[in-house]
Copies of this chain bind each other. A is one copy, B any other.
Amino acid sequence: MEQFEKLKSLLKQLPGIGEKTAERLIFAIISKGGEYSKNLSDEVRIINEAVKICSNCGGYGETDPCEICSDHRRDSSVMMVLERPRDVFIFEKSKRFRGKYHILGGLISPIDGVTPDKLSIDALLERVSKEGVGEIILSLPPTTEGETTSIYLSRLLEGRVKTVSTIARGVPFGSDFEFIDDYTLQRSIDKRQKWSE
């Protein structure tokens, strides 16, 4: 069926959706009926119009500047640097950080042609001086590219902010040591913290 194949090829472009998953989703959409199908269709169309890229931090928002950038109750003296817009959601959900964010839009990776000038670093430096940032928290992924970018930024930011910090790396809660890689275990010993309850 033509319509079936068309929808399938669109769904298969999404991450983690292969042939069989796409088919399963389509059958579910069909069996849920016209009302559900219409609602889902409307929301899929609206999401791209509703979500804007913030011209200040580079994150997602319903407004530009986004809700976080324009929220004066948030502490503008602490800024967290993230790779992707979606990372903001993850940290916002944890409800621990009340400062501002800045999205790099990628990580330094010369092999892939991603040099520092491809990232939103100039804008970061501009915001640091304009918004009076005292501390930068580098929250980049624990990969080679993430570490490289963190090292690059920490040197660049030296003298421009009081403190450059990074989120603690270590063994996550509820994990089994067996499944933790050696590098993480080594770092968790090197960077061991004083016991506190």
Contact = CB atoms under 8 A, between A and B. Distances in A.
Interface of A: 1-4, 6-7, 10-11, 13-17, 21, 23-30, 32-34, 36-51, 60-62, 67, 85-86, 89
Nearest to A20: B90
Nearest to A84: B27
B26 A47 contact: yes
Give chain A's interface secondary structure class.
Answer: helix
From A16, A43, A67, residue with most partner B Cβ within 10 Å: A43
B44 A37 contact: yes
B60 A44 contact: no
A36 B15 contact: no
A101 B5 CA distance: 21
Contacts of A44: 7, 29, 37, 40-41, 44
B51 A45 contact: no
Contacts of A89: 23
Contacts of A47: 3-4, 7, 26, 29-30, 37
Contact of A1 (B1, B10, B41, B60): B60
Nearest to A45: B41
Contacts of A38: 45, 48
A15 B43 contact: no
Contacts of A16: 21, 24
B62 A2 contact: yes
Given A10-B40, A41-B44, A44-B40, A49 B29 contact: no
B43 A42 contact: no
Contacts of A48: 29-30, 33-34, 37-38
Given A14-B29, A24-B15, A3 B51 contact: yes
A188 B33 CA distance: 40
Contact of A50 (B3, B21, B24): B3
